Structure 1
């Protein structure tokens, strides 16, 4: 098995598409996030903010109607739809991210299955979407080709079985990426991005990301890139690298102990500027 390629600024710069001067919001896609639940709306807020900062033209967030005020207040740029909306036209969306703080009860499995069967655009699955898949492996065949999955080590082990070490887990992720038609983003100290047996290892980020909310930001960023038309493997590489770079830039103002997910979101723009050499 070949060793993973180390992600570099040059690789990321070569992948990012310049924004045209005559473009408009429709040029950059319409992302859908299915996230949040009662008492757990922070994940949806962070995911939505990161999605917008990573460049999607439009964003709609699917939330419980009882929690609508939180999103409308915290992220006024986002539009909302509600969990029980049966009239939702999925064709208007360019990509979807499903899972952050979704919950694993109260119809969440049926909701996930609905999107797996009916959404035919690029898709990201994270957090509770992965926990639902781990507990209901009979629906794996419904996961579309090129879906991006973003498990942390425990979620990965629930999906694919335990590993004796992080190295063994990474080798397993690379091998499984050749067996399953998905992009696997195995989050960790050095996040691994694997697809079709090929793998990249991230070189940005720090221990300040070892805090709740960091994964929600990454999901929002990758979903935004998918909505803009990036190929899933490229979207994952760009999102992971910029996510870590934003955290590194945040150390200019924070310590690793004090860093919050919101501090990382605030530096996403600086991360883009850095790799585009506009800093």
Structure 2
């Protein structure tokens, strides 16, 4: 699913009215009606008090359309106008007149010089947030902050229209108290990038996309910087197998890593590579890992260097398709030296994780030796060591994009919504759960991506698909183990089920974010 920028959303609205020969108020009517339909389908006329707070721009106009439909269908509605400026949008004014024609209880106008003493909101009530939309370009004033604080204190369920008020689409929040906290957000046509970033995702617990009929050609033909990756996006990447295939058709993965006490990381990555479909896997480890790998993972081959406790030389006479570097590797000086010598002569594609990343951070000149489209899979702290500190999530993404372009690498930022960065493009993964915050899950991801590349997937496709499979496998395992008991081996055990799940009939027509029920 494409994630459109603010500029692209405005352009889509404009083109839609032109190509469909409708007025902007007609498009607003569509949007407000869709919100009403969503609420009506769930409430079926229930007389829970609904407080609709409308700003004086187009987001407020959407709220007025909603309030009008709620009123005409007999709901218990109180409508408020947040009157903090003399600038009212044309479509807002049109819908302000329309709502006055269907009720004797005109919207209550709240001015910046007033107070909230007449507003009574109970915990069982519903708040609809239609104060600001995506056009917000400055922090809300203290009076509006006070209103948002009143919402929070009421503990009433808050439904945001398009985006929680106070959030920007393209930059960080200056004051978290100046943002509405939504239990649910109904986003028009496309989710917003801020729904997926660590600093701003907290402002909406759940979100859902509503189709308001934006021009289909525009939606299909417009390239976006951000894409949301779900089953629908990865299914076309899937490669089928011919009947007479053999293991040589699916590549040879080498997992290069391990040190004394950390051979388990190599085991996990190797198992994941095999389970994701690699034809052959060889582990390159120090001598201390030989017997444990040979006994615990008979499907893998093992090569050792001359050192017992850590890798100090990298020499092999096989020709791997892809090498996964860094899991359990350690950062001994001899290991760093060995990796530098290896990178100077290596021509094989690489996936680099863990101590491989830490070594690159210690000696950044090694970045020049990486093959084009090398895949780096850092968690936030490893990313900071690579690109430096950032001021906020948007700065982090900009710095990562610059790093990707400078070194011609693919960067997978691991987290609750893992983001693959390649040049100026961002691919946001939708699978996974908090149970993955456990030792070894990153090693499994390295193995999965390596296994996909071995099978012939291009590096970018392998990264996107690998992140999806990794998270989906964990989601399937969660059903049996819950958050606390999920371990990395469980993720490997359900990779096969994640593949099969690709071809199951979807339960919904579009991705929807929610808190996992888990256990």
The question of whether the paired residues in 1 share the 8 Å contact of 2:253 and 2:323 is answered with yes
Kindly tell me: are residues 70 and 106 of structure 1, through their superposed partners in 2, closer, same or farther at Cα, counting changes over 3 Å? farther
Kindly state the Cα deviation for residue 166 of structure 1 after the two structures are TM-superposed. 3.6
In the aligned structure 2, how far is the partner of 1:41 from the partner of 1:278? 40
Kindly tell me: are residues 87 and 156 of structure 1, through their superposed partners in 2, closer, same or farther at Cα, counting changes over 3 Å? closer
Q: Deviations over 1:52-83 (max 9, x none)?
A: 10110000000111221111111110000112
Matched residue, 1:69? 291
Matching of residue 14 in structure 1 with residue 236 in structure 2: yes
Matched residue, 1:229? 456
Deviation larger for 218-227 or 118-127? 118-127
Q: Deviations over 1:171-204 (max 9, x none)?
A: 3223332332001101111101111221100000
State which of 381, 385, 388 in structure 2 corresponds to 1:158: 385
State which of 399, 407, 411 in structure 2 corresponds to 1:180: 407
Kindly state the Cα deviation for residue 25 of structure 1 after the two structures are TM-superposed. 0.3
In the aligned structure 2, how far is the partner of 1:205 from the partner of 1:14? 20
Q: Secondary structure at the match of 1:251?
A: helix
Matching of residue 195 in structure 1 with residue 422 in structure 2: yes
The question of whether the paired residues in 2 share the 8 Å contact of 1:54 and 1:224 is answered with yes
Matching of residue 135 in structure 1 with residue 135 in structure 2: no
Matched residue, 2:490? 263
Matching of residue 108 in structure 1 with residue 345 in structure 2: no
In the aligned structure 2, how far is the partner of 1:51 from the partner of 1:278? 27
In the aligned structure 1, how far is the partner of 2:384 from the partner of 2:315? 37
Bigger Cα Rg: 2
Q: Secondary structure at the match of 1:56?
A: coil
The question of whether the paired residues in 2 share the 8 Å contact of 1:122 and 1:227 is answered with no
Matching of residue 89 in structure 1 with residue 317 in structure 2: yes
The question of whether the paired residues in 2 share the 8 Å contact of 1:250 and 1:259 is answered with yes
Kindly tell me: are residues 166 and 86 of structure 1, through their superposed partners in 2, closer, same or farther at Cα, counting changes over 3 Å? closer
Matched residue, 2:265? 43
In the aligned structure 1, how far is the partner of 2:490 from the partner of 2:305? 30
In the aligned structure 2, how far is the partner of 1:86 from the partner of 1:252? 41
Kindly state the Cα deviation for residue 113 of structure 1 after the two structures are TM-superposed. 1.5
The question of whether the paired residues in 2 share the 8 Å contact of 1:185 and 1:194 is answered with yes
CA RMSD between the two structures: 1.8
Alignment TM-score, normalising by the size of structure 2? 0.52
Kindly state the Cα deviation for residue 228 of structure 1 after the two structures are TM-superposed. 1.3
State which of 275, 286, 302 in structure 2 corresponds to 1:80: 302
Aligned length: 278
Q: Secondary structure at the match of 1:22?
A: coil
In the aligned structure 2, how far is the partner of 1:43 from the partner of 1:227? 19
Unaligned regions of 5+ residues in structure 2, if any?
6-223, 307-312, 507-519
The question of whether the paired residues in 2 share the 8 Å contact of 1:151 and 1:187 is answered with yes
Q: Secondary structure at the match of 1:23?
A: coil
Moved beyond 4 Å, runs of 4+: none
State which of 205, 212, 232 in structure 1 corresponds to 2:439: 212
In the aligned structure 2, how far is the partner of 1:277 from the partner of 1:141? 43
Matched residue, 1:59? 281
Q: Secondary structure at the match of 1:146?
A: coil
Higher normalized contact order (CA 8 Å, seq sep 6+, divided by chain length): 1
